[in-house]
Each structure stands twice: as structure tokens, then as C-alpha cells.
Structure 1
Amino acid sequence: MNRSRDLASKSMLIGGNVSLQALDPVRAESWLADLSAAAEQADCHRLVGFLAGTSADRSNLGAILDLSPYLNGLMLGHPEWVDALFDQTAQKQIAALVAALNEPVPDRASEGEEMTFVRRSKNQVSLLIALLDLFGVEDEAYVTGWLSELAEAVVRRVVRFCLNDLQRRGQLQLPDMANPEKGSGLFVLGMGKLGGRELNYSSDIDLIILFDPEVPAIVDPTECVEMFSRLARRLVRMVGERTRDGYGFRTDLRLRPDPSAMPLAIPLPTALVYYESAGRDWERAAMIKARVVAGDEAAAAEFLSAITPFVYRRYLDFAAIRDIQAMKGRIDRHRGFEGLGVGGHNVKLGRGGIREIEFFAQTQQLIAGGRAPELRLLQTIPTLHALAQGGWISKDTASELTECYWFLRHVEHVIQMVADEQTHTLPETQEDLLRVARLAGYGSVLEFSKALLQRLAIVDKRFGQLFAGRDRKEVSPVLAVLSDETDERAQEWLAEAGYKRVSDVAHIIHGWGTGRYRAMRSEAAREQLTRMLPQLLEAFSSARDPDSALAMFDRFLQGLPAGLQFFALIASNPRLLDLLALILTTAPNLTETISRRPHVFDALIDPSFFGEMPSRDLINERLSAFLQDSPGHEDRLDRLRIFASEQKFLTGVRLLSGAIEGEEAGEAFSDLADEVITALLETVENEFASRHGRVLGGRLGLQGLGRLGSRELTATSDVDLILFYDHDADAEESDGERPLPVSTYYARLTQRLIAALSSPMAEGILYEVDFRLRPSGNKGPLATHVDAFARYQEQEAWTWERMSLTRSRPIAGDKVLLEKVGNIIRHTIAAHKADDKLVGDVASMRRRIGKDKPPRGPLDLKLLPGGLIDLEFIAQWALLAGVVPADFVGKPTVEVLAALEATDHHPAVSGLSTSMQMFSRIAQLRRLGPDNARATDDLPRGLAERIARSIDAPDISQIEAMVADSAAEVRAVFNALLPMPDDVDLPGK
């Protein structure tokens, strides 16, 4: 009696807070009695005593026995597995059972013994996982994770057994029998849910078996395909064949490349050639989750690295989005459900189901994974959170889909637990629905249905938004013009949209449809154009002059090398269409870039693009990567031009869109120039030295002046440079195969640098360059010895030359030399603080400029009296006069003026920095537009509106008035600080 009470009071080590209800409580008690009898027969006395009592755990076991025939069979067939829960938690048992599968295979193990071992292990782990799930102890992440670990361990064990057997037969010579996979060349990729560690309860496992035919372990290379294909067949049978102990895992090899033609085990070179030449987008999507689960990890790592560019493309082929959308369409057509439901609904493939959440994540991984490596994740839920973290989706979307995903996975599992069937469809009868509802922890079908429909509706809504707005329900009449430019309905549509010369516009559009341009010669490109033509025409119709806007797009299209990727990108990202229209109608230089390199638009799909301003370190990192595998000097020069052009474009787009303002653009353009010129100097110097050698103790450095020196470059600025050099005192000539005298060496090196910067090449020019600010201007040597520079500044330099030094800073080269140059510049500036001619010289220079180069319009901000020259001269005077500290040498003009305003030098200096900021913003934006635009009326309307927003003008009609008012105030300050002698003829006095 005492022993019975002890046994009855013993509790299972499982826990949980779910209270399950049986379909039939009487039947549940009968099942518990059957379990007790089986336990008695198996000498499981603790279980017998436990079942004789009453407890929540006992009630749950009875409900499970009644609700799940599959789990019923496992418990009645193996009561000892339940009895073991009195000794050790289910979690510890699961870990131990999986660990045992991962142990080395015994030397004399037979195939039959191994098949029995893996099946019994799988069944016991499956039961324990189910109990933890149904009792509410562990969540679905635990369930899917351990089911995946179990399947992986089973596959790994069988692969080891098969490799050992090939070794015994003399077909392999494995380097490490304790670890037979190592060096075998063979590996198994887990795909789908196994690859993502998201296996469901009764899932098939998708595998791809590959091998490296070059490994030394293969005894007869001519037989390796057949040998490893036999191993694959044996693996499928040992893992999946049903025996008296059940089965391990149903196994599917159909995800391998071209399964109707390829062997079961595929050589790596064959697989790589297939993916590179014939791989389809669904295979890209499948490869997202590919993970090595067994075999030679070194060979697998090599393959996965090689396949990465196929899966995650650096510059995404946006035509793939069309195929991704087609994948979505196929899901819609084949899932067999038009609405949301409960009875008969497929929780995996049906509307609002698991597949839609997976597709939601994988689609965006394909689109963005090439540019955002942080999205290259195997699992759905971490991917959703990474998408939210990167701004691709909202955090609310990620949270909603995460909760829905795990809910639906739980429902999927309980459906499968009923009979261990690979099904995802809810039953249709009320009794069977109630069975599923109660296994899922709900008391009624109504309660379960409400919870399920709520999640299905959320997923359906989010999934529907994935390509929202991209499918047009009605065919626009304008499409008729592609085949008939005289179509009346099409011309009426164009007229209503705002086009004036409709027959000319129709003629242009008709030419696109006939494939007149290279970009439109492929059928796929014309198909993509057809899809997006109404949206495209609507976007251009909002321009100030729609006809001109369309003509500009026509010229852009004429220069486009291929149209498919470009049109697919625009079609898949409608927000980019308005930006494209703005670029094409306002910014000729940006238009030229995208016509030459359409892939630069790829960057604009990244949600972080408009919020990110690359630092100089990030520019350096990207440039280094871009140049890393450059094969030679000319290629490196081309790559520098490509990189600079693309980065200028991206900064220009940020500026045009309003993501940044002019002062930020000036810094960005300058940072880019710094990095590109630094890389170019290294390239030119190394190439020059390969022929002419180097000078003993030779050092050189580049000093930037003008807008580059003050970090105020615009999109089209020249770069002002001086090249300094120094060397050992006894150096006379360079040491190469073609030695040169020292001065000639550096002069020619400078010529090479100028040519590399400004010579037209296939990829255009890098920068127009100006070396006229060197000592003695064009009369002096191209390269400047540092000591000669010091002497010149001390004895001969004019005031305007010293003024130019206030806008100078080191760009590239030897740091010690550049520090020496900096000291000379600071000494030169400090030495002229008391120069009584300074004010007159500065004022006279401004007077001469005003007389020789009058402004050519109200927005000619450089030459306008009170404009940029006045402000720059004031800043330069302030530094030379010592009113502003020398620490501000090389700083942006607006910062120098702000420092001047902070002094008490003169009461009239207030407002200069504000005017400088306004003029800089206008100048930066104006440089994006037509070269001859010097009045508001000359500006494209979109650009004028952007300028108005930038300077807080009420509308574009007020731009010129605001400029004139500020210029008058600046000119008054200039005259007060720097009075001009004999300036009666000077405009703007």
C-alpha cells in the first residue's frame, strides 16, 4: 500500500500549462487503462502508479491518446518512453537521443541494425517533442529546431554508414575513418525547411547530393558518379523506407538541378555550370535555405561560396522580379482556394498560409540580398526581423507575420500529429475539426476558427501588399499606340493627360513598340514596357512641359544598351518612376549617368539609401572592393571613372530628392574626390615607377585648393591641385630602366596625373583639373619643390595667391611632406596679418572681376555683386587678416563666415553665413540642371521647386527676390569691410 501511494504521487518531469480536452472523456479513460496495462506488461511501475491517480498531466495524456491515433500508437507500443519522463526531462532525453545518433557508427553495424536504430530514435524523439508541444512546455521554434536536428542527425548517420561501407569495399580511401565525411568529397545539402531548421512534424526532407570528383579519396574517378548515385539510392532507402519500426524521414531528391536528366549524386562542376547557365528563379529561391547537413563540409563550403552570386546577385537582374511575380501567380492558381476558410483550408498553401509568409520573406531576400548581406539568412523569422531592422518592411509587419507564422506552424503540427501524415489541410467534418482544435489547445471549433481566420486575414493582407499597385486591372487605351500611332482613343488619352503635340508623342511611343532602339529589340523588354507604359506616361505628364519630358526620355532610351532590366526595375518599384521623371526633366548629368549605367538605379531600392550619407571610410571601403581584382593600369583608370560617376550620381539623386542639402552635398562630393584622387595618385605613381623607377628619398603630396580645398565641390566642379615633392639632397635622377632627372621626373609624373584625371576615355573623364594655382601659375613648373614653394611664398607671392591658400588642405600623398606644406601655408598667412595693402588688394581684385565678368543673370551667384565671390573674398580676407584663426584654413566658407560673425571685429558682419548657406544650396542644385540656367525661368520646373523648398521660399516666383535681397546685404557688408577705391563704375555699388 505504501509503495502504491509512492508510485501514485510520482510526477512526470514535463510541466506545461495547457489543459487539453478529449473528444470523448469515456474513451480517453479507456485509452489510459490500455496504457496502464501496457506499462504493467513492460514493468513500468511508476507509470502504472501515476495513471492510477489523478492529475492535470494524466488528463492531458488521456486527451492526447483520444485525439491522436499516431501518438496513441507510439505510447501504447512503447510505454517505457513515457515512463522515462519520471527520471529525466523530455528536453534532456531529446538532446541525448540526437547526440547518440551523432556518435560514430559501430564498425560491425549492419544496414538493418542501423535502420532500426534511426527509426526508433526518430519515433521516441517525435513523441517527446509532441508532448512538449501539446503540453505547452516548448514553443514552435523549439519544435521545428529539434525536428530539424533529428533529421540532420539521421541523414548524417546513414551517410557515415554508407561511406564506411564504400571504404570496406575498396571504392574509397578515406583519410580519417573516425570522421569518414572528411575528405570524402561527398556532401548533402538540406533544402527547404530542413535547410532552414524549420522542419514540420511529418515533413519530407528535401536533399541535394553533390560531390567533388577531384578528391584523392575516390579510387576510380571514372566510376564516381555511379558510385555516389548508388550511395544516394541507399541513403533514400535507409532513411525513408517503411519497416516494422516505421520510417525515418520521407526523402525527396527532386530539388537537384534538372532532376529528369541529372544523376542522383551530381559532380560539383556539373552543378555549377547548370546554375550559372540554366538556373531558374525558383531554384534561386530554393538555394536561399541550402545548408550542409551531412558529408564533407570543406567541399560543401566551396560549393556554397561559389553559388552565392547565383542566389544573391550584386546587381540584381530585375527581370527576375517578373518571374518572382509569376511564382506568386502560380501559388494563387494552384492553391485551390479563392477565399479564407477553416474546414478544408490548407494552412501551408492556402490564402493567408505559411507559404505566403515564407514567400514574403524570400522574395525580398532575392531582391536585396546581393546588396544587403545581412538578409542572407536561412530562417523565415530572423529574415523578417532583418527586413524590419533594415527598413525594408515595418516592424509592425514583422511582428504580425512572426506571430501568425508560429500560430500556423502549431496548427500544421497538430494536423500532422493526428495520423503522422504529410498533410497541411484541415479536415472538413465538425468532429475532425474539433479533434484538431482541441489538440491545438482550443475548447471549440468556433474558438479555434476565430483565432485561425484572424491570422489568415493578416497574412493575406500583408501578402497582397507585397506587389500592391503593380497589376493594372484595366488595359489603358494608350497601349494601342504601340502598334498604331494614329489610334484615336490613344491620342485622346494623351491629350487628356496633358500632352500637346499628341501625334508627335504617339510617333515616339510607336517607335518604342517597333523596337527601333537597341534597348527595345528583345520581346521581353517590349513586354515589360507595355506593362508600365501608362504609369510612365502619367509620370511625365506632370512635368512642366510633358512633350519635352517625353522627348528627353526618348533620348535616354536611345542610349540605353538594354531595356529589360531597367523597365523591370521601374515596374517593380513605382516610387522610382517619379524620381526618374524628375531626373530626366531636371538633371542632364544624372540622366547621362543612368543612360550609360542603368544598374546605378539598383541602389535606390534600398530603403536606407536616402537616409544614408556614406562616410569617407565607407567610400574608401567600397572603392577598395571595386578596385580589388583590377587586372591592370588601364582597367583601374576605367574603374575609377565608373566609381566616381556612379557615386556622383547617387549624391546628386540624394540632393535632388531632398534627402540632403547643398552643404552636405559639398562634403560628399569632396569626400569622393579625396578618395578617388588618392587611389588615382597611387595608380599613376606605381605605373610611372615601373618604367622610370623612383627618386632616392622621394616624397610627393597633393594639396587641394578652391572648392576642393574648402570641401565645397559641386557635381560638375573642376579640382584645383598643387603637386609638391621633396627628395634626398644627393638625389639626381630616378633609378628605373629609363631614369629621369629629378625635376623632369616629377614634372612628367604630374603630366601623367593630369592626363589620368582629365583625358577622355571610354568611361568619360574623371575630373577636369586645374594646376594654375601653383607658384607662378602657368609659367612655373608643373610640380613644385616644397622648398621652392616656401621661398616663393616668402618673397614673391601676390595677395591673390595667399588668398587661395586659405582654401587649401592636404588630399593625398606623404603625410610628413604635407604637414611641412601646411606649416608653410600657416606661416605665410600669419606673416601678412599686418599687411596694410591687404584690404585694398582684395577690394581691387573684386572690382576687376566685376568689370571684366559681369553677372549673366539673377542666379549667376558666383559673379553676382554680393554673391559667392564677395562672400569667399570676405572669408579669405578674414583669415589673412587674422580676424578668424588659422585653424579655419581649408574649412567650408560658411564655417569661416560663422567664425567671423562670432567676433566683434565689425558690427555689420551678421547674416553672412546665412546668405552663404542659401547661395550654396542654390548653386549645388543649379549645377544639376542645364549649364545655361542663370534665371528662374531657365530652370526646369521640378528643379526650381526643389530650390524653393531648399531655401524656404514660398514659391518659385520668390527665388530671385530672396537672392537679390541677400546679395544686397552681403554687398553692403563687403563695402563696409573692404571699401573699393575708384569703384564708381563697379556694378552693384
Structure 2
Amino acid sequence: MGEAKRGRTGDAGFLIDGEFHPRPLDEETAKRWRADLRARAEELQLSRLGALLDSDHTDADRLVAILDLSPHLCAISLRNPEWLEELIERSPADLTRETVDRVGALPGRDDTEKTLMAKLREARRRVALFLAVADVFGAAAPAQTCRALSDFAAAAVAAACRFCLADLHASGKISLPDPGDPERGSGLFVLGMGKLGAEELNYSSDIDIVVFYDDARTLTSDPLDAPEILSRLVRRLSRILSERTGDGYVARTDLRLRPDPGAMPLAISTAMALTYYEGSGRDWERAAMIKARPIAGDGEAAEAFLKDITPFVWRKYLDFSAVAAIQDMKQRIDRHRGFDDIGIAGHNVKLGHGGIREIEFFAQAQQLIAGGRAPKLRVRRTDDALRALAAGGWIDPSTARELTDDYWLLRRVEHAIQMVADEQSHTLPEEPEKLRAVARLAGFADETALSAALLPCLQRVDRRYGKLFSGTRSEASDHSIEAALKRLSASGDDDEAIAAIAGFGYERPADIARVVHGWTLGRYRSTRTAAARSRLAAVLPALLEAFGKALDPDAALLAFDRFLSGLPSGIQFFSLIASNPKMLELLADIITGAPTLRETIAARPHVFDALLDPAFLEELPDRDLLRDRLATFMGLSRDYEDALGRLRIFASEQRFLVGARMLSGVVDPGEAGAAFSNIADVVLEETLAAVEAAFAAVHGRVPGGRIAILGMGRLGSRELTAGSDVDLILFYDHDEDAEASNGQRPLAPSLYFARLTQRLIAAMTAPMREGILYDVDFRLRPSGNKGPLATHIDAFRRYQDGEAWTWERMALTRARTVAGDQSFMVEVSQTIREIVAAPHDPAKVSKEVAAMRQRIEAGKPASGPLDLKLRPGGLVDLEFLAQWALLTDRADRDLCGEPTRAVLEAADFGGAADGKALATSMTGLTRIIQLLRLGSPDVRKAADLPAGLARAIAEAIDLSNASAIEAFLDKETVKVRSAFKAVVGSAET
């Protein structure tokens, strides 16, 4: 609220800024109100107020206009004109804060229920007058008014709560831990909900409150008495606030936002509430809990409850069924209230089209969708939510600014409506004179000026809200096509429906109609429920249109049918594509061209959420950013099992995201290996930490124990693909004199680390609802499957000195530490470098590399032209060349654990081969295999590739069309095989 900057003289006005100058409806009536107020000032010897009213000061005119425009404010002013005199010396902001602080000190030692009620009602009238005058003068922004109203309401609830608790304690019905501070430690608390929780109360708002108590902190001698005794407390608290007396009321209280209000008591135990929310909580209750704020009672118990309820409100997944639920809620409001067109006279600025509720739902729907993944969206106020959505990229900054400005304009008008008669109304009057009064209270000259500002605002909000929920209400659609497609639920032979399908480009529309008809029968799990079929029906036209754009629409639709048949549940998925129609095009590509991604969606539909993240079109996240995101996501883990589930969700989402980015052309497939490896790195770090903590809780730790995980193969060289397993070796070390771990169930060091490794493997490979984390291979450890699972670093050094084969040394050239104790990881890395750098006979290495390649070729011949790994001149040849270069000192040993391309580019093959040319070949083959791994492993020839995948491969290697893929491969592999023979030779030579 603005402070007056001008100096004051004898005829000074109020200490209020503001540029609004409201005019009365009737000048003659206003003069009579001025005279009446002047008489009251004289009666109470309020000389400064009297002088102001006798002057021609603009503030006197503004005040008199308010008296004429608002019977409510006129009544307060005539009853307590001394409060107006206070405004001459002090600002409304200071007076409001002082009044709220006084309420915060209630009840006094001698207060009875009657005196407390009188004090609260007087405080309410004071706050109402101070805030209204500042608001109508234009000295207070609506946001400030809302916050001050909320502060007062929260203080009043807390005062009533303290009184009720203290009185019950005095009567012996409860026993408080600290009678001098009744709220502290009581276990009972009040949550402000809705606008009170968000500090957005309107001028004459009801307040939504919910009262809980922690039954572990027993207030009653018999715990079974607590629900009845504490519910009586709530009933009394509500009456203290809402009962109308000669002094008015404090706030109308609404307790219906508590769990199952028809069956639950007024005071609910936290255990009962958590059971309800976890088992029966609905989406509207999740939305309501976004704004929940402790306002009275035991703050510690309140915060603990809000933490416990976090998983209910903020889901692990993006939750698009919440959008549908909120849309349904708004549609029920529209139907119940009879809302239709946008207008001014008679329009409900809260619930009508383009109103306050639509902005709130716009923000809340997206908070519910993404708040589980993006904690910065977990804010209570609507303007803060819009700002956070823009900062996170979920909406455009211009959208956030526009909706925020519109929101506060609507709130200012809402305040003006309620100031007239202190009624909980949100509807603009239909009578011109009454509408004019509202306009002037809101800072407009008349109803015409109000309409000029408000009508475009309502239309903008309606348009933004409509776009979020799949198209504005005013968008025209082809109802005849929609109606025809809807008839497919009754029959698969409807001629009009078949014609509509043909119009989308399908060659066999009658067959497609029968397939779609099958969906409506609920034969698949994904369409079994009525809700899922309803969501499917809503997106069916868009879905058929999207697949109709495929190169082979019929095959695309049938692939989608197979996808639906394996989808465990449909409502979330259909809600998602209904809310994001553009995702259908990418979905069509995935379903027709990338079975690996398709199967991932079918098994875990929520991975599709990742595509809705605004970061999707940005660069791939690096390891540090992934680590930060994972830490945030894991911060909500409830226990070890939940942590493993969250790790699976994170890894599958991020792998899916990389694959989808490749397929959509957002990123170069050549970057995918590093991206997949970064995901594995951060997930392995977190998995090892979780496993170690759980294992140590039982078995303790080995004195001086240290662990380092070595990534081998494609993980080690940062070349993972979408379907790669991870090759690992776990090294350990400990104090020389350590004999056992120090836990409740001690284990000898070797057994300790072997069991820990088994636990790590189980954590990664155990099938859970969220799938597995990674297939894990430990066969590259010393002695393979015959050796112990965990390897002591000293035993590893001895093995390498005397027993290791050349192929094992080759494998170490791709090794890289990925998780564990930092100092030990450095030590292990140094050991690997020393082993690789040890002198090796180049001739012997060449002979054994050639022999190994020949054995692979004889035992596992290539399955076809697209077997890029095994075909002569393929990836194995290139990898062996890089490993040969490192072992024979033809490449810098610091390149151990680097991608094959980097090693080849830096290698010196003499005159036998060109390292840079080999690196170029590696790049091309890597791009292809990364995309191939998204497809079916059974595809052997380019002609059998799905169209979308073939197109993506051709674009990745700069080919004009997919028919040239095999010719490209033939050319590259011939060059590579020639280089391999020139450098390494053959087994015979």
C-alpha cells in the first residue's frame, strides 16, 4: 500500500496515495452522506476529520464517493468515524498491520468467548475499512489487499483456536503440554485451504479450513474420545468466527474440503487422513492441497503432515489425468451454474468463462502435471505459479505476464463487487446503475470503461484456458465427422464413419473402422474402463488424423493397435495426448519406427512424460545437470524400495528422451552414446549409494573399506546405445588388519564385498513394477564367472601381472571408473593406465587381435547387412583397431576410456591406415547403430526398416533417401576391413 509523499497542512487529506478518483452515483445523496459523517465527527469531537470534510480536499470527495457507492463501507464509516481520523495520521498499511498484530495477541487473560468474538469482529471491520479505502483510492495493488486479508483471517483463526484449546484444558477435557502456549506441542493444527492457504483471500471471502490432529500426541485421557472432543472444538471455533452478532461476523468458515466430509468427523487424525488420501484421494483434493498452509495450532505437526502427504499431491510421474479431472470439474461448474457466453452485465468473474477460476485451474493443472518432477512449481499463490511455470519453460513468459495481469484485474473487480454490500458474490450486476457502482469502486469511470478493460481480459483468459484443454470453446470443429466416428462404438460398419476414415488417407477404411470399433468394446486392458474409453473417444479424430499422415497409414494404425493391446492402462495416456495434440505426430513416428521406444511406452507409459518437459528441444543434459535432477527426484524417496523404483523411472525416462530426440532429429545420433552413458553414470552413483546404505544398516562397514565401480565395454568408452547392458567390475580395498564388518551381522571382508555386489546386481536387475534398471554383466572381472564377484585391487594387480590374457588387456583400454570412493577411483584408474602402458610385443598383440577377430567371425557371423557390430569392416574391427593402438603405444594412453572415434582420430597407424578416415567411418556407423537400436533386433536388411526409422537413418548420414543405406555401409565397411588387414594382418600372418 502506498504511503503519501506530500506534506500535510491543516486541511490535509488522508495519508494515502493513489490515483483513482471515484465519483458518487448521485451527487445529492453523496452530499447527505457527507453531512451525516460530518455530524458524527462533530459528535465524537473528531476535529481533523471534520476539517477534512469541510474542505474541498480531493480526499474528502473520494471518501464521500465511497460512502455513496458502498452501503457496507458507509455503515462502517458512520459507526466508527474515528478510524477515518486515524487515516489522516497513519497509512492503511500500518493500521492494518497493527490491527492484525493485536489479533495475534488474542485471547487476553480475561477474555471470555463473548469478549473475544467482539474484539475479532471489531478488528475485522477496521481491516475491511482500511483496505477498502486504500484499494478504491488505487493506493493498494490487489495482491497486497489479498495478502493482508489473508493475514487477518489466519490471525483470527489462530486466536479462536488458542481460546478453544485453553478452555478445554481449563475444563479438564484435554491436557495441553504447555497451557501458557496452547498451540505448541498440542498436535492439533488448522490448514488454510484455497485462497486463504494461498494468501489470496477476496474482500468478503469464505475461508476454507481443515483441522487435523496427530493421534500420537494424545490430548485426551482416552484416545477414543479425541474425535468427539476435538470435533466439538472445531464446531466452536467455527461458530466464534462465523456467527453473526450485532458486531457482524469475522469470516464464514467452510469445512467441506476435509477428507470425505459426509462421513469424517470435523477433526480428523493425521493417520486417518493419510490412509484416506493414499487410498481414496481424488484429483480435486490434490489440487486443493497445493494451496494448503498451516495457519493455526501446532506448526511442527502441520509441517510433518504436509511432508507425509507430499507423494499424494506431487506424483512421481507427469499426471495428465489431472488435466482431465480439472477440466471435468470446471465443466460441471459451468453446467451447474448455467455459464455460457462471455459478457459483462451478469457475468461471474470467478466461475464464468474467462474468469478467475480458469486462471487458477490453468496454473494448478500444470502444477499437478509436473510438480512431482519440478519442485519449483510447488508454490501456493497463482501469480507465483504462473511465474514458476514460465521460468521452467512450461509456458511462455508472455503467457505468464498476460494471465497474471488479467488475474489481478479480475481480482480488483471481484473486490469491488463485494465491497458494495459485504456479500460473497462474484457476479457483476445486471442493472446499469449497480454495475456503474462496481466500476467506480474498481477504478473505472463507468460501466463502459469497465467493459472496455474487462471484456478483452475475459476473452484472453478463455482463449488461454481453452488451448490448455485442447482447443478453445469457440473453435469450430467438424461435428459431422466427430459424430460419425463416435458411432463406431456401436458398429464397425457405419458408412459415414468409414467415409470419414477414408478422408484421413487410409487405404482400407472398412478394416480400420473395425479395428477402432474393437477399441470401444473394452477388450484391451487400456480401454476396459468407461473413463478410458471416454478419453479415447475425445482424441479419436485427432488420433486417426495423425496416423493418416504416415507413409503407410494402415500399417501405422495397426502398429498403434498392437501398442494399445499391451498398454496396461489407458486413461493417463489418452489424457496426455488429449492435452498435447502435437505429441501425436511424434507418437506416430515412435510407434511405427522405433519398437524399442514403443515397448518402453507400452510397459511404462509414464516415460512419455519426458517429451513434455520444456527441456526436450534443448541440448542434451550433461552429467552435472542429470545429477542435480536425479538428486531432486530422489529427495522424495520414502524407503529403499521406493528409491529403486524412482531410479528406474528416472533412467527409463531419460533413455527414452534421448531416443526420442534422435528419432525426431533434435540431436545428432552421434551424441547419443555420451548421453546414454551420462545417464548410466549418475544412476550407478545413486544406486551404489542406496545399496551401500541399506547394506551397512545390517552389516555395518568394513574398517577402511573403499569401493570403485569400473565401467567396461560401451559404458567405459561412453558409447552406450538404447539397448545396451552395462559391463562392470567392482573393486574394493580395506585396512590390512580388518577381520570383519562392524554391524549387527558382521561379515568377513571378502564375503562382505561379494554380498554387497550381489545386492547391487539385484538392485539393478530385479523386475519391479517400473521394470529393471539395467541388465548387468560382471563377466569381464578376473577369471570371468569362475572368479569372485568383487575384486580386491591387490588381487587384480597380481592377476594382471601373471595371468591376464591379451583380450583382457584390450578390454581395459575401454575401462573407466564410474562410481564409488573418489580417492579409490583415482587409484583404480591409475592402475588401469599402468597395466595398459606396460610393454607389449606389437607383433604378439597383432597376432592375437587378428586371431580373436577371426574366432568371432567364425563363431558369430554377421546376421545381415545391418549387423554393424559383427559384419566384416564393422564396429568390432574399428574397436579392435583402437584397442590395438592403445596397447602398442600408437595412441596416447590417456585416451583409455574415451570413445573409439577419439582414439582412432588420435592414433598413428603409420602408412597402413588413416586414423582420421577411420574416425569418420566410426562416426557414420555409430549414428546408424544408435538409431538401429531403437528398432527391432530382427531387422537384417535396410528394406525391412520401418519407414520412419529408415528416414531418420538416411538423414543422419546425409543420404537423399533410405534406399542408399546399404550401399553406404558396403563402401564404409570395405574401407575399414582393408585398413584392419593392413594394420593388424590376419591370424595366419
TM-score bracket for this pair, using the shorter chain length: 0.7 to 0.9
SS in 1 for 2:615: coil
Aligned partners of 1:398 and 1:629: how far apart in 2?
A: 37
Matched residue, 1:918:
924
Aligned partners of 2:137 and 2:690: how far apart in 1?
A: 68
Matches within 5 A, 1:731-880: 767=774, 773=780, 786=793, 789-790=796-797, 793=800, 800-812=807-819, 819-832=826-839, 835=842, 857-864=864-871, 866-880=873-887
User: Which of 942, 947, 957 is the equivalent residue of 2:953?
Assistant: 947
Check the 8 A contact 1:883/1:905 in 2, yes or no: no
The aligned amino acid for 2:257 is L
Q: CA deviation at 1:890?
A: 0.5
Shift in CA distance, 724/136, structure 1 to aligned 2, threshold 3 Å: closer
Q: CA deviation at 1:347?
A: 1.8
1:601 aligns with 2:608: yes
Aligned partners of 2:610 and 2:209: how far apart in 1?
A: 35
Aligned partners of 1:14 and 1:832: how far apart in 2?
A: 87
Check the 8 A contact 1:7/1:45 in 2, yes or no: no
SS in 1 for 2:192: strand
Matches within 5 A, 1:568-607: 568-607=575-614
User: Which of 445, 448, 452 is the equivalent residue of 1:443?
Assistant: 445
Shift in CA distance, 699/613, structure 1 to aligned 2, threshold 3 Å: closer
Matched residue, 1:45:
47
Q: CA deviation at 1:772?
A: 5.8
Matched residue, 1:344:
346
Matched residue, 1:668:
675
Aligned partners of 2:695 and 2:88: how far apart in 1?
A: 81
Matched residue, 1:531:
538
Shift in CA distance, 767/71, structure 1 to aligned 2, threshold 3 Å: closer
User: Which of 940, 944, 954 is the equivalent residue of 1:938?
Assistant: 944
Matched residue, 1:314:
316
1:630 aligns with 2:640: yes
User: Which of 129, 132, 151 is the equivalent residue of 2:131?
Assistant: 129
Matches within 5 A, 1:393-792: 393-469=395-471, 473-474=479-480, 475-500=482-507, 505-609=512-616, 611=618, 613=621, 615=623, 617-618=627-628, 621=631, 629-630=639-640, 647-674=654-681, 701-722=708-729, 767=774, 773=780, 786=793, 789-790=796-797
Matched residue, 2:299:
297
Aligned partners of 1:179 and 1:733: how far apart in 2?
A: 52
Check the 8 A contact 2:848/2:987 in 1, yes or no: no
RMSD of aligned Cα (Å): 4.2
The aligned amino acid for 1:946 is A
1:218 aligns with 2:220: yes
The aligned amino acid for 1:953 is L
Check the 8 A contact 2:322/2:365 in 1, yes or no: no
Matched residue, 1:362:
364
SS in 2 for 1:810: strand
Return 851-860 or 189-198, whichever deviates more: 851-860
Deviation string 1:347-379 (CA, Å, 9 cap, x unpaired) is: 222222222212222222233333333222221
Q: CA deviation at 1:808?
A: 1.3
Deviation string 1:90-137 (CA, Å, 9 cap, x unpaired) is: 221111111011114222223332222122221122111111112222
Deviation string 1:688-739 (CA, Å, 9 cap, x unpaired) is: 9999999998776543322122011112234444455667779999999999
Aligned partners of 1:877 and 1:64: how far apart in 2?
A: 90
SS in 2 for 1:8: coil
Q: CA deviation at 1:818?
A: 5.2
Q: CA deviation at 1:900?
A: 4.4
Shift in CA distance, 348/938, structure 1 to aligned 2, threshold 3 Å: same
Check the 8 A contact 1:183/1:217 in 2, yes or no: no
Q: CA deviation at 1:262?
A: 4.2
The aligned amino acid for 1:394 is D
User: Which of 195, 199, 202 is the equivalent residue of 1:200?
Assistant: 202
Return 243-252 or 786-795, whichever deviates more: 786-795
Matched residue, 2:64:
62
Aligned partners of 1:229 and 1:395: how far apart in 2?
A: 46
Q: CA deviation at 1:406?
A: 0.9
Q: CA deviation at 1:45?
A: 1.4
Aligned partners of 2:26 and 2:45: how far apart in 1?
A: 28
Q: Which runs of 5+ in 1 are unaligned?
A: 985-989
Matched residue, 1:95:
97
Return 476-485 or 691-700, whichever deviates more: 691-700
Aligned partners of 1:42 and 1:890: how far apart in 2?
A: 89
SS in 2 for 1:613: coil
Shift in CA distance, 533/855, structure 1 to aligned 2, threshold 3 Å: same
- State the aligned residue count: 975
Shift in CA distance, 685/28, structure 1 to aligned 2, threshold 3 Å: closer
Aligned partners of 1:163 and 1:753: how far apart in 2?
A: 52
SS in 2 for 1:216: coil
Check the 8 A contact 1:39/1:79 in 2, yes or no: yes
Q: CA deviation at 1:143?
A: 0.7
Return 54-63 or 455-464, whichever deviates more: 54-63
Shift in CA distance, 714/408, structure 1 to aligned 2, threshold 3 Å: same
Matched residue, 1:254:
256
Q: CA deviation at 1:636?
A: 8.9
The aligned amino acid for 2:60 is R
Aligned partners of 2:744 and 2:707: how far apart in 1?
A: 21
Q: CA deviation at 1:383?
A: 0.9
The aligned amino acid for 1:283 is E
The aligned amino acid for 1:208 is V
Check the 8 A contact 2:470/2:579 in 1, yes or no: no
The aligned amino acid for 1:393 is I
SS in 2 for 1:206: strand
Shift in CA distance, 487/913, structure 1 to aligned 2, threshold 3 Å: same
Q: CA deviation at 1:834?
A: 8.0
Deviation string 1:899-927 (CA, Å, 9 cap, x unpaired) is: 449x9999944444443323212111101
Q: Which runs of 5+ in 2 are unaligned?
A: 1-6
Matched residue, 1:987:
none
SS in 1 for 2:35: helix
Deviation string 1:47-78 (CA, Å, 9 cap, x unpaired) is: 22233333222232232233222222222322
Check the 8 A contact 1:104/1:178 in 2, yes or no: no
Shift in CA distance, 713/280, structure 1 to aligned 2, threshold 3 Å: closer
Check the 8 A contact 1:184/1:218 in 2, yes or no: no
TM-score scaled to structure 1, two decimals? 0.87
Aligned partners of 1:121 and 1:733: how far apart in 2?
A: 70
SS in 2 for 1:323: helix
Aligned partners of 1:779 and 1:381: how far apart in 2?
A: 63
Return 559-568 or 344-353, whichever deviates more: 559-568
SS in 2 for 1:608: helix
Shift in CA distance, 522/899, structure 1 to aligned 2, threshold 3 Å: same
Aligned partners of 1:117 and 1:732: how far apart in 2?
A: 73
SS in 2 for 1:293: strand
SS in 2 for 1:452: helix
Aligned partners of 2:634 and 2:255: how far apart in 1?
A: 42
Matched residue, 2:3:
none
Check the 8 A contact 2:147/2:199 in 1, yes or no: yes
Check the 8 A contact 1:312/1:369 in 2, yes or no: yes
Aligned partners of 2:514 and 2:800: how far apart in 1?
A: 65
SS in 1 for 2:459: helix
Q: CA deviation at 1:427?
A: 2.4
Shift in CA distance, 773/72, structure 1 to aligned 2, threshold 3 Å: closer
Return 219-228 or 179-188, whichever deviates more: 219-228
Aligned partners of 1:691 and 1:113: how far apart in 2?
A: 60
